[in-house]
């Protein structure tokens, strides 16, 4: 087939995720995020649509920049309450066979020794379908939950992250040799201690002197995801990430980022084409263009503009409550001395965006494009976007849970399949293998994890 | 009915748990501990037997006292490898409706803010069936995994634990008022920020300044389990625990502990009868006594005596590799200046136990009694044991996974039910309610958690 288009579903253990206010829509299920059925139904839908993975975002704090407190976030359920994303995974794994799970964990608040065990356990239980989205945290409110005044400075967080990665690579890759486990019932030998090694590491931030507590899992190192867009973040992603999420409103913006990530990966000695890059989008398919447009218009009626401003304030650090809805964003940016709203305004650079328009625009699917139309129109758009940007596929947000994803599975996926741009069936093997990685399921030779193998 | 007998299953995300070497038996499944089916099948069996709960032990280190290293533990798979016990829970919850899950988490290595979220998430997903076995850790090897020379001194661990409990109680009970969540789609108000409160806590060990990230779950505070047997440990249990596990080889030993726990609870202002106490036992039922005895004899052939000594060395801190198998334990105790083997020798105090006999004796089900016989004989024994000790039920170890538990479910439970000593069906409500707690599912008024409610 022509170059395959890959799909990830973008979700979070909370209400509305990227679509503030839409939990009020009668067809939305996201207010049931705290039930098991919400997650097992979602996983079933995604596997029906042969999605590569479910990507679970996370935060450990509240969006409290807007208005200087979390009141608006709580009133509108803007990513709060937010439950632990790791907990529903085994239930989802039990109702699927192929779907991957890319789960966000903030390394700043997870000791590496126990975190490595957690991931290995999930890799075992899912039979090699686990991924980890490496984040260092971006909300000061999360740091306060952990008893700190504020989060570690941005660049220091990435230094800490580098050391953290070395510790977990050593545990995952270097502690148990491939043939350490014998499971020999006759001789009564489970494992050969000579082939199991303590990780003795003493760094600036972390110390470990112990074996990894888990026997080797199918992938050992989980598939690594990253979404950093800063200079340090991109360098980190180029070194470690196997999947990268990018978001932005125009193909031009995305194309530049994709080129930069692939160039940095090549500089880091990795095959730039082996990195899977997914860009954020929201797809609203309908039988006819008119039906799809009507659907989107219906959804838009439920957007909470206050909720959208809460999100943008959290992402940018600018308290948008300090500005009138009709104020143009250019003023906001100037006054705040911050270019963070650029993402939005490049969607139509000629336009003089107001704060209110930014809110309305970003009220569905965050800062990615929202495409409504027939499956054919959407597939056209997807093919063009991939051509223009060089991404491997899409990280799809939902407008309505689970309606948006089931519409994609049932309408868009068949169209992409007909066009020869989508897998007829899942590839065998681990998530890493399904994503085009080695048949072994292990990180490829150019990846830094491989250096810690024995 | 007469006083109900309650059953818990005692398990661990590892091989063989309390029965070293029995993973080699052809009917044992414990070497499949790393698969999802192992756990979903187990949960299904236990719910068929109307067990109150599945209790999951955990360690974060290796048993490396025996011989001065972890070699024998690794060779015999003695609680290593050991996977994360939290991860399979949602899958088990998805195939059951009533079974409770009591999961061990070592507070020394879990920051309270994220741990509180993890438990709340599981309480939501299980609809109020989660419990937490509070441990402070007992292996120095676990501390070394976390970059410390050794674990915190025993008494200091309990001081830290008291502070930890206050933090998590504040998060679970005090952050969100009962009527904070409105889910009002009409008015677009998810929650009322005026009824959601930051926990601002500054203690010796922990600082938090944040709201709890989860909306109230059915139980809020998970059902609290404890198994501490030291003076500090028993005082802690008397104050916090709703379920207590005790273990010992004779009814006399257990009776004393039970009386002590209930007396301490009364001193702490709690209803002593409200604490559910479970004592360790292993039941091997058969159609006839002869069949049961033959079954047990068959199992004993698979015991790894080295494995048993690894366990005993880890529990007592005495390296039993330094003694010959025919050496009498009295010498060991004298030389090691340690009374920790007392537990075993009181099973038959007149006997001169050798190291080898202790290993053989403890090779099935740890230091609890092992009872083989017809369901009637076993039920007789259970009734007598409860009468003699004052426990509420049993924490059942397995000889073979899952054979031992399915034998109990299919043979012993019907006999207990016939005798009117076992529930005909599960009580409605949360795990706490099923265990005899308040219908609300929340900790009762005498419990320290209740003090942090608004």
B385-419 confidence digits (pLDDT tens): 999 999 999 999 999 999 999 999 999 999 999 99
Note the pLDDT of residue B350. 76
- Nearest by CB to residue B191, choosing from A77, A91, A196, is A77
What count of Cα atoms within 13 Å lies in the side-chain half-sphere of residue A80?
Answer: 29
A273 touches chain B (CB under 8 A): no
Nearest Cα residue in chain B from A30: B183
| Whole-number pLDDT of residue B140 | 66
Residue A168 CA to residue A59 CA, distance in Å, equals 21
B378 part of contact set with chain A, CB < 8 Å: no
Q: Which residue of B has its CA nearest to A213?
A: B81
- Give me the DSSP letters along A250-314: SHHHHHHHHHHHHHHHHHTTS-GGGSEEEEEEEEEE-SSHHHHHHHHHHHHTT--HHHHHHHHHH
pLDDT the model gives residue A284:
98
CA atoms within 13 A on the CB side of B323: 26
DSSP character at residue B352? -
**Number of Cβ atoms within 10 Å of the Cβ of B204:** 8
Where do the DSSP E strands lie in B203-310? 207-210, 223-226, 243-246, 276-285
Q: Which of A83, A86, A93 shows the shortest C-beta gap to B36?
A: A93
Tokens in use for A451?
């250096």
Cβ–Cβ gap A95/B93 under 8 Å? no
- If you write DSSP's letter for every residue of A93-153 in order, what string do you get? HHT-SS-EEEEEEEGGGS-HHHHHHHHHHHHHHTTS-EEEEEE----HHHHHHTT-SSPPP
Query: pLDDT under 50 in chain A at which residues?
Result: 337-339
The whole-number average pLDDT for the span B266-293 is 95
Per-residue pLDDT at A195: 98
Distance CA A90, CA B90 (A): 6
Which residue would you say has higher pLDDT here, A235 or B430? B430
pLDDT at B302: 97
Contact A190 B77 (CB under 8 A): yes
Radius of gyration in angstroms for the set of CA atoms belonging to chain A, rounded to a whole number: 22
Interface test with A, best of B75, B81, B182, B188 (most A CBs within 10 A): B81
What confidence score (pLDDT) does residue A345 get? 64
Comparing CA positions, the residue from A18, A112, A13 lying closest to residue A59 is A13
Q: Which of B408, B415, B330 is nearest to B47 (CA)?
A: B408
Give the per-residue pLDDT at A2: 74
**Among the partner residues A24, A111, A190, nearest to B185 by beta-carbon distance:** A24
Smallest Cα distance from B287 to chain A, Å: 28
Q: Tell if the CB–CB gap between B109 and A114 is shorter than 8 Å.
A: yes
> Please, which residues have CB within 8 angstroms of residue B175's CB and are 6 or more apart in sequence?
B196, B197, B198, B199, B211, B212
Q: Does A182 touch chain B (CB under 8 A)?
A: no
CB spacing of A75 vs B193 below 8 angstroms:
yes
ipTM of this complex prediction, to 2 decimal places: 0.95
Predicted local confidence at residue A342, as pLDDT: 60
Q: How many contacts, defined by CB atoms under 8 Å, are there between A and B? A: 238
Average model confidence (pLDDT) across chain B: 92
Q: Note whether A368 and A279 are within 8 A (CB).
A: yes
The alpha carbon of residue A242 is apart from the nearest alpha carbon of chain B, in Å, by: 24
Q: Which of B113, B190, B209 sits opposite A76 (nearest CB)?
A: B190
- The structure tokens listed for B337 are 């200046």
Q: Counting Cβ atoms within 10 Å, is residue B432 exposed (0-12), middle (13-18) or buried (19+)? A: buried
Given a contact cutoff of 8 angstroms between Cβ atoms, the answer to whether B435 and B276 are in contact is yes
Q: Do B81 and A215 touch (CB under 8 A)?
A: yes
Contacts of A127 in chain B (CB under 8 A): 35
Across the interface, do B74 and A13 touch by the CB < 8 Å criterion?
no
At B211 the pLDDT is 97
Determine contact: B362 vs chain A, CB below 8 A: no
Query: Minimal CA–CA distance to A28: which of A47, A45, A15, A39?
Result: A15
Interface contact B94, partner A, CB < 8 A: yes
Nearest to A31 among B95, B183, B192 (CB): B183
**Interface probe, candidates B41, B68, B85, B87, chain A, greatest A C-beta count within 10 A:** B87
Q: Which candidate from A75, A118, A208 shows the least CB-CB separation from B191? A: A75
Span of A321-325, B85-89, B211-215 with lowest mean pLDDT: A321-325
- The shortest C-alpha distance from A431 to chain B (Å) reads 17
From chain B residues 185-224, the ones with a CB under 8 A of any chain A CB are 185, 188-193, 196, 206-211, 213-215, 217
Task: Please judge whether A146 and B190 are an interchain contact, meaning their C-beta atoms are less than 8 angstroms apart.
Answer: no
Give the mean model confidence (pLDDT) for residues B344-365.
79
CA angle B382, B386, B390 (to 5 degrees): 165
**A258-262 long-range contacts, CB within 8 A, separation 24+:** A258/A389, A258/A390, A258/A391, A259/A390, A260/A234, A261/A234, A261/A237, A262/A390
Contacts of A83 in chain B (CB under 8 A): 117, 120-121, 124, 213-214
Taking only the tens place, the pLDDT of each residue in B306-354 is 999 999 898 888 899 998 988 887 766 655 544 456 656 666 777 788 8
Touching check for A321 and chain B: CB below 8 Å? Answer: no
């Amino acid at each position: 087939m022509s170059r395959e288009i890959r799909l990830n579903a973008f979700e979070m253990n909370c209400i509305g995720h990227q679509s503030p206010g839409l939990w009020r829509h009668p067809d939305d299920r996201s207010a049931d995020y705290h039930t098991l059925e919400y997650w097992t139904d979602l996983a079933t839908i995604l596997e029906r649509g042969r999605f590569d993975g479910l990507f679970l975002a996370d935060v450990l704090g509240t969006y409290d920049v807007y208005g200087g407190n979390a009141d608006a976030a709580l009133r509108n359920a803007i990513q709060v309450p937010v439950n632990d994303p790791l907990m529903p995974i085994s239930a989802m794994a039990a109702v699927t066979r192929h779907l991957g799970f890319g789960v966000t964990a903030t390394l700043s608040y997870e000791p590496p020794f126990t975190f490595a065990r957690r991931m290995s356990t999930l890799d075992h239980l899912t039979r090699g379908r686990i991924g980890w989205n490496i984040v260092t945290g971006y909300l000061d409110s999360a740091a306060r939950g952990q008893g700190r005044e504020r989060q570690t400075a941005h660049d220091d967080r990435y230094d800490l992250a580098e050391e953290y990665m070395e510790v977990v690579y050593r545990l995952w890759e270097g502690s148990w040799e491939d043939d350490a486990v014998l499971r020999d019932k006759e001789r009564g030998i489970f494992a050969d201690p000579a082939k199991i090694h303590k990780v003795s590491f003493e760094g600036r931030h972390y110390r470990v002197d112990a074996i990894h507590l888990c026997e080797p899992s199918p992938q050992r190192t989980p598939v690594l995801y990253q979404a950093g867009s800063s200079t340090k973040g991109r360098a980190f992603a180029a070194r470690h990430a196997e999947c990268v999420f990018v978001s932005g409103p125009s193909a031009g913006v995305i194309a530049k980022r994709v080129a930069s990530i692939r160039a940095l990966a090549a500089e880091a000695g990795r095959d730039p084409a082996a990195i899977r890059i997914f860009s954020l989008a929201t797809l609203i398919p309908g039988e006819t263009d008119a039906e799809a447009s009507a659907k989107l218009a219906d959804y838009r009626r439920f957007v909470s503009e206050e909720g959208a401003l809460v999100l943008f304030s959290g992402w940018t650090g600018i308290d948008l409550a300090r500005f009138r809805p009709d104020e143009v964003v250019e003023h906001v940016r100037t006054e705040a001395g911050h270019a963070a709203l650029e993402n939005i305004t490049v969607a139509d650079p000629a336009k003089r965006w107001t704060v209110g328009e930014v809110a309305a625009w970003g009220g569905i699917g965050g800062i990615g494009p929202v495409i409504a139309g027939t499956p054919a129109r959407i597939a056209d758009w997807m093919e063009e976007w991939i051509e223009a940007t060089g991404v491997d596929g899409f990280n799809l947000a939902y407008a309505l849970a689970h309606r948006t994803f089931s519409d994609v599975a049932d309408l868009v996926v068949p169209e992409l399949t007909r066009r020869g741009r989508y897998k007829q069936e899942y590839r065998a093997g681990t998530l890493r293998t399904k994503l085009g990685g080695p048949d072994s399921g292990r990180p490829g030779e150019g990846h830094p994890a491989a250096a810690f193998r024995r």
